[in-house]
A and B are shown apart, each in its own frame.
Chain A
Amino acid sequence: MKEIYIGVDVGSVSTNVVAIDRNVNVLFKTYIRTNGQPIDSVKEGVKQLREALGDVEVLGVGTTGSGRQLAGAILGADVVKNEITAHAIATIHFVPDVRTIFEIGGQDSKIIIIKDQMVVDFAMNTVCAAGTGSFLDHQAERLKIPIEQFGDLALSATRPVRIAGRCTVFAESDMIAKQQFGFSKAEIIRGLCDALVRNYLNNVGRGKNLEPPFVFQGGVAANKGIRAAFERELQSKIIVPEHFNVMGAIGSAILAKNYIEKTNAKTNFRGFDAADIDFSTASFECKGCSNRCEVVKVSMEGKVIAMWGDRCGKWTNSL
């Protein structure tokens, strides 16, 4: 029977599930739209994993992403870790000499600076440069171009067009203006890719010393137009790893593997039946003191299995 470690990355746009073996070979990966339903998408991912791999023994489970706590509670994860560390771990495994990681997902954009295989600095979009992936999606839809062809079309452009990329709202109106001037779709898309990369490097990478090798990952790394824009802007080669869109999930699987191997612990994994169990979340305002915390409660078939959000630990510790 195959022995595997499962990694789950629950983001705002996509939920990724991977399975790796003891040597970090990726045996299975899936990329599912979260659609605002993280519980369903986690279940769906695990179900797909079971169907694809058949009989397996799960040695450990790790979760990451903004939904890491929820996914951790549902699956019974051994490791619950933030996505910056998870991404760094996976990238260091595949590209050991990496110095700079660009990670652009549906909502968040990050830059992680690595030195001697160690995270020494990182930045995440603050109030702007958020939602790059979602914005590209939206523009593809507006221009009636399948998102898969978006990058190729950008590459076919011959002239550069400058699009204002400070803010996506203005970028969109600028794109429309340039359309009215008569620029082709391809040229406008190339201009948009340049603008997003420029904005990302200026905003997220502000003041950071970016050194090659550069690794580009996250869902947006599939877009050849953005890749090319990066290469133009940085005058350097950009590495896109094979599993670029599920690196966070791989990272959390590696973390779970390291944790289990080091501690010889038995996994907390609830088993594949978790996909059939009824989970629900609810939240309430605790009136115990003036903090008025919003407490999140996860129940499994009516029984409360996890709570968080309370600052004093009254509910978290009540289980």
Chain B
Amino acid sequence: MKVSFPYMGSAIVYKKLFEFLEHEVIMPPKPTQRTMDLGVKYSPEFACIPLKMVMGTYLEAIEKGAKVLVTSGGHGPCRAGFYGDTHRNILKSLGYDDIELIIFDAPQDSWRAFFRNVQKIRNGVPWHKVINRMYTLYRFVQKLDELEKMVQKIRPYEVNKGQTTQVWNQIQERFDKIKTRKELYKVYEECKQLLFSIPTRKVDEKDRIRVGIVGEIYVVMESSINFGIEEILGNLGVEVERSLYLFEWINDNLVPWILRPKRFKEIIKKGQRYIKILIGGHAVETVGHIIDFKERGFDGIVHLMPFACLPELVTQSLIPKISKEVDIPILSLPIDEQTGKANMLTRIEAFIDLLKNRKRGKTKEVFIDNIQEHVQEERVVMV
């Protein structure tokens, strides 16, 4: 089967998944302006940006020859649960009758539907091989996420601008070629060394700024839609951590609940201090992570939300209260096709200025002093 899937975050993971199941994989292109244009053209106007971008991605994948599209469905009252069907209808109306869309809804909603889907994509690979390869993939995701977390901690202090990102690109290319578990561990160690060999500035612990990124999964994970916010922050000298990594998402959603790490439950519990009922999307997790980041000593939060996303809108309206009660600055950024980069950069820069002020003192003298440091960092980009 010529299989493709929505592009989100480190898409090589999904590619690996289907390679392990011996499919012919059509790698969807990383979303670009064209993807957005296509998606916007064929989607309902008031749908949120993830639906539109995924729509665009499907169309581009079909252009490249994909026949089967595999995606995850929704769970709870967020309208993401309807996206699969919406996409299916749009594709049908465009005349793509031969395209099959396989939607994985949360297994606990219907185990039968889930296994029917599994049978479809298993592609006749014997079960013992499937289990063995899925375990390899599980470790693959874990190692890749570990490396990405390192990247986010090294980038703000790199001496040569852009080097960490280049190394990260190399790492992803190398991971793309991995076939076995043994190979995985070897490549992982080599990539770690590659990262450690990047020259960095020494920065005092008290001068380090850490920002947590929270929000709806697609805009948090997919850099092409959030303007590469992790890189922007990293280049401004800020350490970044996301609320969502694929490995943790798999643990929280796909691993049988007995084996799940406790962390997820704790985050939900923290979130329920403010949102008591399930309102869909990642609203409760977003709030839980804000509190968790604060408890772990982070300096600020960037909250990403697709424009018109109801769960995140609820979160946004709670943010002034949360920000005050837990005492952490939070910057909400709505993301839509209309979002301009200049405007977004201004906010992010001003937000980082604010965090530096808060961290390093309260007098006017320090305020100005901090700005100069920032200026010098920025000048590197200039001429």
- Closest CB in chain B relative to A80 CB, distance in Å: 6
Query: Does A33 lie at the interface of the complex (its beta carbon under 8 Å from any beta carbon of B)?
Result: no
**A116 surroundings in chain B (CB, below 8 A):** 362
Query: Does A292 lie at the interface of the complex (its beta carbon under 8 Å from any beta carbon of B)?
Result: yes
- Closest CB in chain A relative to B159 CB, distance in Å: 12
A80 and B371: CB pair below 8 A? no
Q: Which of A15-23, A239-247, A311-319 contacts B (4 or more CB under 8 A)?
A: A311-319
B165 and A312: CB pair below 8 A? yes
A84 and B358: CB pair below 8 A? no
From A66, A119, A262, A289, B354 is in contact (CB under 8 Å) with A119
Known A119-B353, A306-B383: A314·B307 in contact at CB below 8 Å: no
Query: Does A281 lie at the interface of the complex (its beta carbon under 8 Å from any beta carbon of B)?
Result: no
**B30 surroundings in chain A (CB, below 8 A):** 290-292
Q: How many residues of chain A have a CB within 8 Å of chain B?
A: 49
A207 and B379: CB pair below 8 A? no
- Closest CB in chain A relative to B71 CB, distance in Å: 21
- Closest CB in chain A relative to B49 CB, distance in Å: 12
Query: Does B317 lie at the interface of the complex (its beta carbon under 8 Å from any beta carbon of A)?
Result: yes
**A77 surroundings in chain B (CB, below 8 A):** 382
Query: Does B131 lie at the interface of the complex (its beta carbon under 8 Å from any beta carbon of A)?
Result: no
Query: Does B285 lie at the interface of the complex (its beta carbon under 8 Å from any beta carbon of A)?
Result: no
Give a binary string over A59-82; 1 marks a CB under 8 Å from any B CB, 0 the rest: 000000010010011001111111
Known A66-B343, A207-B317, A208-B320: A262·B364 in contact at CB below 8 Å: no
A311 and B375: CB pair below 8 A? no
Q: Which of A120-128, A134-142, A158-166, A222-230 contacts B (4 or more CB under 8 A)?
A: A120-128
Query: Does A145 lie at the interface of the complex (its beta carbon under 8 Å from any beta carbon of B)?
Result: no
Q: How many residues of chain B have a CB within 8 Å of chain A?
A: 50
Known A72-B382, A73-B383, A79-B375: A316·B162 in contact at CB below 8 Å: yes
A262 and B342: CB pair below 8 A? no
Query: Does A108 lie at the interface of the complex (its beta carbon under 8 Å from any beta carbon of B)?
Result: yes
Q: How many contacts between A and B, using CB within 8 angstroms?
A: 123
**Residues 329 to 366 of chain B near chain A (Cβ within 8 Å):** 329, 334, 336, 338-339, 342-343, 345-347, 349-351, 353-354, 357-358, 362-364
A119 and B350: CB pair below 8 A? yes
**A121 surroundings in chain B (CB, below 8 A):** 329, 354
B320 and A81: CB pair below 8 A? no
B307 and A127: CB pair below 8 A? yes
Query: Does B166 lie at the interface of the complex (its beta carbon under 8 Å from any beta carbon of A)?
Result: yes
**Residues 241 to 268 of chain A near chain B (Cβ within 8 Å):** 255, 258-259, 262-263
- Closest CB in chain B relative to A210 CB, distance in Å: 12
B382 and A317: CB pair below 8 A? no
Most-contacted residue by chain A among B338, B381, B383 (CB, 10 A): B383
- Closest CB in chain B relative to A60 CB, distance in Å: 11
Query: Does B239 lie at the interface of the complex (its beta carbon under 8 Å from any beta carbon of A)?
Result: no
Residue of A nearest to B366 (CB): A118
Most-contacted residue by chain B among A73, A81, A89, A289 (CB, 10 A): A81
Taking A80-B375, A308-B382 as given, write out 20 further A-B residue pairs in contact, using a Cβ cutoff of 8 Å, ordered by the A residue number.
Answer: A66-B346, A69-B382, A72-B382, A89-B368, A117-B367, A118-B362, A119-B357, A121-B354, A207-B317, A255-B368, A258-B368, A263-B372, A291-B228, A292-B32, A311-B162, A311-B165, A313-B165, A316-B381, A317-B160, A319-B383
Chain B residues within 8 Å of A, Cβ to Cβ: 29-30, 32, 160-163, 165-166, 169, 224, 228, 231, 307, 317, 319-321, 329, 334, 336, 338-339, 342-343, 345-347, 349-351, 353-354, 357-358, 362-364, 367-369, 371-372, 374-375, 378-379, 381-383
19 cross-chain CB contacts under 8 A:
A66-B346, A80-B379, A81-B371, A81-B375, A82-B346, A85-B371, A118-B364, A121-B354, A122-B354, A206-B317, A258-B368, A258-B372, A289-B169, A291-B224, A291-B228, A306-B382, A308-B382, A312-B162, A313-B162
Chain A residues within 8 Å of B, Cβ to Cβ: 66, 69, 72-73, 76-85, 89, 92, 108, 116-122, 124, 126-127, 206-208, 255, 258-259, 262-263, 289-292, 305-306, 308, 311-314, 316-317, 319
